[in-house]
Structure 1
Amino acid sequence: MDNVNQISVSITYGHPRKLTLINIFVEKNTIVREAIEKSGILNLFPEINLECAGIGVFSKIVELSTPLHHRDRIEIYCPLIIDPRQARRNRASKS
C-alpha cells in the first residue's frame, strides 16, 4: 500500500459471459458507490445501473453508502434472467 490513508478493495461483476475483477486503492472512509465509480467498471459495462443492481460486500447485500474496509470485495450482481426455481421446473419437465 502506498499510503497509510489508503485501503485496497476489489470490485467484481459477474456478467453472464465473463467475471471481471478490478483491484484499486481508495482513501479510507470511501463508500461503496465511490469505489465502484473510481474503478471504471461502469465504463466497461454500461448496462450496470447502480440504483437497480444488487450490491454486496463478501456476499452480504449493502447500501451504496456503506463505508469500506481494507481488502473488502464489492460484488455487483447481475439481474437474474430466470427465477432459479422456474429453471429447475423447466429442466425437470424436459426429463
Structure 2
Amino acid sequence: MKDYGYKVDLTEEALEQLIELFLFKCGQSDLLAAIEARDAIEEAIEQISRSPYIYPIADNDPTERKLVIPFVRKTGYIALFSIESESQIYLTNIRHQLQDDVLR
C-alpha cells in the first residue's frame, strides 16, 4: 500500500471484527465473497489514508469519521475511524451494514 501521509492502524477491536467478518463469509462457503470483501476494505483503508477529512463526522466529534464501504454483493460495511494526528489514524470499528449493532 502506498504512503499518502496518514498511517492507518487497526485497533484490536477492529482487527477482531475484520477476522469475524472474513470467517463469517468463509463459513458460508463463499471464499470469493470473503476475498472481495477483504479487497474492498483494503481499498477503503487506502482511501482513508489519502483524505480522511472528506468523510462524514461521526458522533459530533470532528476527529471521528465514518466511511460506507460499498460491496458488490448489494450491501457493504461501515468503518469508523479516528484521526489522532496529522499522520496517524485508527480504524476503530468495522461492521456489516446489516448487523444489528452497526453505527450509522
Instruction: Indicate whether the TM-score tops 0.5.
Output: no
TM-score by length of 2: 0.33
Rg (Cα) greater in structure: 1
TM-score by length of 1: 0.35
Question: Hey, which of these two has a bigger chunk of helix by percent?
Answer: 2
